[in-house]
Each structure stands twice: as C-alpha cells, then as structure tokens.
C-alpha cells in the first residue's frame, strides 16, 4: 500500500449483533409478559422458548430496521393465543387452578413492610388475571413501554381498538384496586 492510501483506509461499519443475540436481549421482558399471560412459570418458560423458535424460523420475514421488540412480543402473544385455541379444542386438557408462586426480590427491611408488599403484589396479580387476555395484554404491553401504535402492531388491531381496550382495562383495574387509592 502506498503512503497516500494509508490515511484513506476505512474501518468496516460496525455490524449488528447476530439475530439470535438480538432475540436473547429481549428474553427477560418476554418472560415477564409470558408469566402474566400464562399465570404459570413453567408454561411461561415453554411459551418464550416456542416464541424464540418461531422467531428464528421466521427470521427471513423480519424487516431489518423495524421494531424487533414489537415483532417478538407479537409472536409471543400469537403463540399464547394459538396454544389456548388448541387447548380449548383438546378433550384431554384440564383447567388448572394452580398458579406458580411469583418470586419477588423485595427490598430488605422491615418484615411487616415486606408482607404488605406481598399482599399488594398478590392483589395486583389477581386483578390482572381477572382481565380478559386482550385486556391483560394491552396493560402489560403498555407497562413495557410500547406506544399505542406498537401495541396495535403486536396485537394486530387498529390503534383505536388499543385505546379503547386500554381505557377499559385501566378502568377495570382501578375498580378492582380502588381500596389502594384511598
């Protein structure tokens, strides 16, 4: 190489991490969402695993530059709904009332405060579980920081539908948890 070309050498543009690595970066958020949808930790793990498998299989349909997070949440939600449909059609399935105990890392401190936090968390979880699947999904996606447009994309509905479901779900939660507002 000549001395005048030395200063013109360009570094290759930084490449994005591999697709699978980008997927794994969303694992915790997907798992939290799956836990609320399934109400069972083991089923949530299976759901996330199924969603990752579907995402990897559908990698060619992902548009680079679009919102990977919203795309993954949509896959997870659709996988959950597909499983519920299959479960309804299967004569061998039983509805289980057993809910996995949610593990919460409480701040260390007063035992009574920790106990109260646990009660509040259980009341919130119970209120969320009484919402419809769509109501619970829209609330959880909102809590994950998705915009209404992104939620509409994840849920494959119109933005207006998301707004009305979000308003109804919030009103239902307010009614369920009204004693905490006092």
Q: What is the CATH classification number for the domain harbouring 182?
A: 1.10.10.10
The last residue of a domain, from among 95, 122, 147: 95
Q: What pLDDT does 105 receive? A: 42
Nearest to 34 by CA among 20, 23, 49: 49
d(Cα 168, Cα 93) in Å, to the nearest integer? 31
The model's pLDDT over 110-143, given as tens digits with 9 standing for 90+, comes to 556 666 667 777 888 888 888 888 999 899 899 8
Residue 80 has pLDDT above 80, yes or no: yes
Q: Which SS3 state, helix, strand or coil, does residue 93 take? A: coil
Q: What pLDDT does 104 receive? A: 40
Residue 164 has pLDDT above 90, yes or no: yes
The last residue of a domain, from among 60, 95, 130: 95
Q: What is the CATH classification number for the domain harbouring 47?
A: 1.10.1740.10
pTM as predicted:
0.56
């Amino acid at each position: 190489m000549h001395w005048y070309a030395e200063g013109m050498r360009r570094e290759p543009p930084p490449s994005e991490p591999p697709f699978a690595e980008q997927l794994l970066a969303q694992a915790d958020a997907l798992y939290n969402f799956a836990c609320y949808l399934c109400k069972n930790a083991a089923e949530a793990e299976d759901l996330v695993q199924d969603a990752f498998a579907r995402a990897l299989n559908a990698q060619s349909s992902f548009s680079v530059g679009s919102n990977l997070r919203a795309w993954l949440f949509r896959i997870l939600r659709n996988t959950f709904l597909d499983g519920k449909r299959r479960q309804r059609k299967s004569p061998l399935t039983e509805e289980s009332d057993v809910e996995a105990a949610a593990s919460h890392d409480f701040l260390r401190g007063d035992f009574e405060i920790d106990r109260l936090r646990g009660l509040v968390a259980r009341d919130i979880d119970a209120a969320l579980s009484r919402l419809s699947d769509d109501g619970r999904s829209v609330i959880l996606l909102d809590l994950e920081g998705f915009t209404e447009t992104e939620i509409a994309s994840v849920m494959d509905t119109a933005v207006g539908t998301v707004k009305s479901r979000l308003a109804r779900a919030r009103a239902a939660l307010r009614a369920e948890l009204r004693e905490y507002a006092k």
